[in-house]
Chains A and B, each alone.
Chain A
């Protein structure tokens, strides 16, 4: 079986300008931040980002990496509004597809099942359909004849997710309370990259309940061992969110100088140097 271990830099080398990239996690929770920062350090540009958005979206917007965003929300959880994302939106700097959260799930699920769309009531009657006339409805072929949103498949060129543990073959283990939609992001993507807190021997995976094994090696092309790889978002039970750091990040949106200072201090560093810089 293939040893799929690679570095953050090797992940970025497999991505290219204009790609559609899905990012796992939810808000400011278990985001693959070391992979996101590797994109920030790269020349990649014009990306379409699909996310249940948190600081992944804010950082990529602040670094002008994004052409288009697809999301249901963008939030830092303990700080409800993501300031870097807000600034990009209010400048009109990014094209957006704003969906109901459930529609986003459905689009990823449709792509992962190779279906053109999945039907749902979510979105009907709302301005989501007004702002996005490309979203169509479909009529039930059965006696009810009900009109439903035909949520189109959200196919991804690449997916980035972060797990607590994985083996070198790409079997990923989520030990926290919520697996979010990471398996759907991987299912919807052509290339799938998993960072994790620790690479462990396969024999150790089943020591925890089987329900923690949410990602298997069919779904993963590359494994990056990145301890503290979700920082400053949370990665329960390994660590909680670094709230002080998140405030520093959010405050850096106040003006370009603060942002440059923040970027110089943290975002120019590779992951090992970053870990030393944020140790406090």
Chain B
């Protein structure tokens, strides 16, 4: 059993990195595709500890192993092959997400003339129907966690269920935010609080969520980083950029 640090020894960013890392636990020898800094640190931490077989790219076309050595080539052409084969777990952002995990990164407002054009759907439709997906939301708010998203890019459980066999590869593992970890381990596949970050209450999360969340009778606290994990995070992010992103 590794030594446990006290709460003042780790930051919110450290906690979120570990919570992101947990998304890939048990995934085996697949491609981890983290979008953004905190998910990237999470994926690298997972590989450095409990998920050593994960594959990661350098963000361009090279597969780079834990020692920083190029071990393969994965241009975009091959990325889509991997996506459609299912050997991938992506962690994306979400401008909006609803109770069933439907996600929007494309635009806000009316499709024909959006109030805010964002990225477009990118790979979200194909990702979510083909392999495991998780999300990271650095600012948990009722603007992100909405009753209805303006544009379904990534599929939620309700949309996937309607597809029958076509939706059989859909899975949302978890949603990590600055307040909590959320998942869909419920009878109706609606979002629930899986764990609360230290010092955060159910009411805090509910106040910043635009729909009613499932709340189990007893909600655990998000697991703290171990001393070893903190050492690895410091080595991966010596300038503490993750903390700046979260504050």
Contacts and interface: CB of A to CB of B under 8 A. Distances in A.
Nearest to B106: A98
Contacts of B28: none
B162 A73 contact: no
A178 B117 CA distance: 28
Contacts of B112: 92
Nearest to B73: A177
B166 A105 contact: no
Given A86-B117, A124-B163, A177 B61 contact: yes
Contact of A126 (B75, B113, B114, B124): B124
Interface string A95-121: 000111111010000000000000011
B121 A100 contact: yes
Contact of B80 (A99, A102, A148): A102
A26 B75 CA distance: 11
Interface string B94-120: 000000000000110001111111111
A72 interface: yes
A134 interface: no
Contact of A75 (B113, B119, B154, B155): B119
Given A126-B152, A148-B166, A90 B114 contact: yes
A73 B119 contact: yes
Interface in A29-77: 53, 71-75
Contacts of B83: 102, 122
Contacts of B61: 177-178
Interface string A119-145: 011111111101100000000000011
Contacts of A264: none
Interface string B128-147: 11100000000000000000
Among A90, A121, A179, A180, chain B packs the most CB atoms within 10 A around the CB of A121
Contacts of A179: 75, 77
B122 A101 contact: yes
A127 B120 contact: no
A206 interface: no
Nearest to A74: B120
B167 interface: yes
B160 interface: yes
Nearest to B75: A178
A145 to B, nearest CB: 8
Nearest to B160: A125
B147 to A, nearest CB: 16
B211 interface: no
A99 B107 contact: no
A126 B124 CA distance: 9
A128 B121 contact: yes
A72 B123 contact: yes
Given A122-B129, A126-B153, A71 B120 contact: yes
Given A74-B120, A86-B117, A103-B125, 6 more contacts: A80-B119, A86-B116, A123-B125, A125-B166, A127-B153, A177-B73
12 contacts: A71-B120, A80-B119, A90-B113, A90-B117, A100-B122, A101-B80, A123-B125, A125-B152, A126-B124, A126-B154, A177-B62, A178-B76
